[in-house]
A = this chain, B = another copy of it.
């Protein structure tokens, strides 16, 4: 084995936009672009709130990151500042043509990046933790989020776009799978 494939390939850097000061575009970059695209026009704060409201279960960023990304994207010319309303320097931003192109390029790119399931519970199992201790907590928590998702699907399911509905469906299946899995773990004879 060549020097072990230990890394995560988190990056898979893209450079769809071809202009200006050459930034590396990472997934968080596209998260910001995607949200601003949805909102049309937004301040960093709007982005942050919207991210927390929507995509956080799939990909969250700490607050400070949002501002940093916006700076980077502005500098790279993928976003443009629309206006500064007075005192509080509230920057409203839009996608530039380059920004829109970059987003489209990313969305269209089917490149597969293998995921790791960063489940601490599973890791603990691997290292020999007691299923007795962990299973009940896991089942309870996954059931809770599963309920939340299902309620969401029932309540606002109609209002979602197709893609959003599908992402939600993924969440539901994931949580259902986890509940089943931990029940299976619990039920094994010791």
**Residues in A lying within 8 Å of B, measured CB to CB:** 1, 3-8, 27, 30-31, 34, 37-38, 48-49, 51-63, 66, 103, 106-108, 110-131, 133-134, 136-138, 141, 145, 161-164, 166-167, 169-171, 173-174, 177, 180-181, 184-185, 188
- Within the complex, what minimum Cβ distance (angstroms) separates A6 from chain B? 4
A121 proximity list for chain B (CB < 8 A): 112
A51 proximity list for chain B (CB < 8 A): 4, 6
Q: Is the interface of A mostly helix, strand, loop or mixed?
A: helix
Count of identical protomers in the assembly? 2
- Within the complex, what minimum Cβ distance (angstroms) separates A99 from chain B? 13
- Within the complex, what minimum Cβ distance (angstroms) separates A118 from chain B? 6
A59 proximity list for chain B (CB < 8 A): 116, 118, 123
**A63-B3 Cα distance, complex, nearest whole Å:** 9
A129 proximity list for chain B (CB < 8 A): 107-108, 163
Q: Is the CB of B125 within 8 A of A167?
A: yes
Q: Is the CB of B164 within 8 A of A173?
A: no
Q: Is the CB of A170 within 8 A of B181?
A: yes
**A123-B129 Cα distance, complex, nearest whole Å:** 32
- Within the complex, what minimum Cβ distance (angstroms) separates A66 from chain B? 8
Q: Is the CB of A137 within 8 A of B166?
A: no
- Within the complex, what minimum Cβ distance (angstroms) separates A31 from chain B? 7
Q: Is the CB of B110 within 8 A of A134?
A: yes
Of the residues B7, B106, B114, B128, contact of A141 by C-beta under 8 Å: B114
